[in-house]
Amino acid sequence: MPLVDKACEEGAVDSDFSKYAILGNGPAGISALLAIREVDPDGGVVIVSPEVERYYSKVLLTYWIGGRIKFEDIFLVEEDFYEKNGARRAFGVEATRVDTVQREVELRDGRRLRYDSLLLAMGSSPEIPDIPGVNLPGVHYLRTIEDGKKIREATSASMRAVVIGGGLVSIKTVEALLAHNMEVSLVVSSGRLLSQITAPEDSKVTFGMFQAPGLDIRLNCDVRAIEGEGRVEGVRLSTGDVIGCDMVVIGKGVTPNLSCIQDTEIKTGAGIFVNDRMETGVCHVYAAGDIAEGHDIARGKPWINALWSSAVWQGRIAGYNMAGRRVSYAGDVGLNSVSFGDKCLITLGKTRPDKGDEVSLFQDEGRQEYRRLIFSGGRFVGAVISGPSAQASGVLRSLMARNEDTVAIRDTLLGARLSYGDVMQAGTRLSHYG
Ligand SMILES: Cc1cc2nc3c(=O)[nH]c(=O)nc-3n(C[C@H](O)[C@H](O)[C@H](O)COP(=O)(O)OP(=O)(O)OC[C@H]3O[C@@H](n4cnc5c(N)ncnc54)[C@H](O)[C@@H]3O)c2cc1C
């Protein structure tokens, strides 16, 4: 049931004008709204989203599915948030077409919203693999709160699950399902878990970290078919094995939601290209969050860092610029933190070295410490860390964001015990050398 604020109601006006139109009610869209309001308290804002729920945290979905938090805790704002911030909602309906010449957004129900400035913050959607049985009841994806509700409901009637894909969302899902005492098989095409954010050298540490009672990990395995009469009963693998199960969760990556801009001049690669003010290059159109290729400091090039914190930063920068305050995005360093039971793995920046990069490894099995650091032309550009020194990851990220020559402090970074204080001190030393 679409949730549409009064002035956006169908038939209220044929072509409805707002100074600012925001496509997306996630962290990028909401951060833009708050930044606009800092600069322009009165300009009209409309927020469009195919979902009906108020702003919530995707990051917390698996904690709710696993029973660690209450449903209400997922929401990040109160019901009256939109009204208080002078934003009209067009919820439960998606944008299907953007016309950057007429400055209009067309919605699925035929309504048109005119704008002065437009933010594209539509995030991404799960990729649906081309295998028989993907549409059977009992097959799930996890991207939205609705997906989360379906998975949580399924846990009450399911004993055995297969999770397909070894990325961050899959691992968080596995942990949530294990919390319901389910038996879970994790099927991964690659030879290691978290293959998008680690390198082959890290496979021992990632494999060791994700062992748990009730979990069966199958690496180097493809799913050939999801089988069942009328609903999921099992999964057939490339090895010939069949794993019996009553639910499947697929986490095989995501694709940015770009379909509504396909008739425009907006330039895209893996995502939408933006400059340091989050402008797309087409007049009055901005992009932010998972949909945008913002500057990545460690890689020195545009990159999609599909992270909550990046979406917040980019959304804010876009919002300020939309409202006329010129602010630049300095770029970002990706930080992924994956916890499983009492173990934690942190990845920072570029985790797979390019030709000419130097890699240094520190390992202490007794302390379960693992630190693989990557340097490029003297700069610190990437890290995979597990164990006690993970506590220093925030400050390591700041060091990486400074993008300076770190040769003078390399020994500290590779020292046997690396603490938050060590990195702070090393960073200060760098400033003095500079
Ligand atoms: C289960 C899960 C766990 C995660 N865990 C972490 C984590 O631990 N740490 C971390 O940093 N990141 C995590 N992420 C990633 C993080 O949630 C995203 O990077 C972040 O939400 C991106 O924000 P966004 O605003 O760009 O897009 P989204 O949050 O995806 O929001 C997109 C918005 O656009 C709307 N929309 C879609 N299509 C249209 C359309 N055609 N027209 C209008 N609106 C549209 C959507 O309904 C939604 O409101 C996780 C993601 C998931 C799914």
Shared-domain flag, residues 176 and 264? no
* Domain termination residue (choose one: 252, 286, 302): 252
Lookup: tokens for 105 = 């957004």
Terminal alpha carbon distance of the chain: 59
Token pair 């998606």: residue: 94
Average pLDDT, the chain: 92
User: From the CB of 49, is ligand 1 less than 6 Å away?
Assistant: yes
Query: Could you tell me if residue 327 is inside a domain?
Result: no
Residues constituting the chain: 434
The predicted model gives 285-301 an average pLDDT of 95
Query: Could you tell me if residue 381 is inside a domain?
Result: yes
Our count of domains for the chain comes to 3
Shared-domain flag, residues 139 and 116? no
Query: Could you tell me if residue 396 is inside a domain?
Result: yes
User: From the CB of 183, is ligand 1 less than 6 Å away?
Assistant: no
Interval 53-101: pLDDT, tens: 999 999 999 999 999 999 999 999 999 999 999 999 999 999 999 999 9
Dihedral angle over CA of 425, 431, 432, 434, nearest 10? 150
User: From the CB of 51, is ligand 1 less than 6 Å away?
Assistant: yes
| pLDDT band with cut points at 50, 70 and 90 for residue 395 | confident
Q: Tell me: pLDDT of 10 over 70.
A: no
The residue whose CA has the least distance to atom 36 of ligand 1 is 122
How far, in Å, from the CA of 269 to the mean position of ligand 1? 19
Query: Could you tell me if residue 329 is inside a domain?
Result: no
Closest ligand 1 atom, CA of 254? Answer: 53
- HSE of 151 in the Cβ direction (CA atoms, 13 Å)? 33
What angle is formed at CA 90 by the lines to CA 76 and CA 310, rounded to 5 degrees?
45
Token pair 């992009």: residue: 287
Query: Could you tell me if residue 291 is inside a domain?
Result: yes
Q: Tell me: pLDDT of 173 over 70.
A: yes
Shared-domain flag, residues 238 and 138? yes
User: From the CB of 290, is ligand 1 less than 6 Å away?
Assistant: yes
Contact indicator for 61, 150 with CB cutoff of 8 Å: no
User: From the CB of 143, is ligand 1 less than 6 Å away?
Assistant: yes
Interval 110-163: pLDDT, tens: 999 999 999 999 999 999 999 999 999 999 999 999 999 999 999 999 899 999
The residue whose CA has the least distance to atom 35 of ligand 1 is 24
Closest ligand 1 atom, CA of 291? Answer: 26
Query: Could you tell me if residue 14 is inside a domain?
Result: yes
Shared-domain flag, residues 355 and 407? yes
Q: Find the CATH number of the domain harbouring 388.
A: 3.30.390.30
Enclosing domain of residue 349: 335-433
Interval 335-376: pLDDT, tens: 999 988 888 899 999 999 999 999 999 988 888 889 999 999
Q: Find the CATH number of the domain harbouring 220.
A: 3.50.50.60
User: From the CB of 59, is ligand 1 less than 6 Å away?
Assistant: yes
* Domain termination residue (choose one: 291, 322, 353): 322
Query: Could you tell me if residue 172 is inside a domain?
Result: yes
- The C-alpha atoms of residue 112 and residue 153 are separated, in whole angstroms, by 37
Burial 252-272 (b: 16+ CB within 10 A, else e): bebebbbebbeebebebeebb
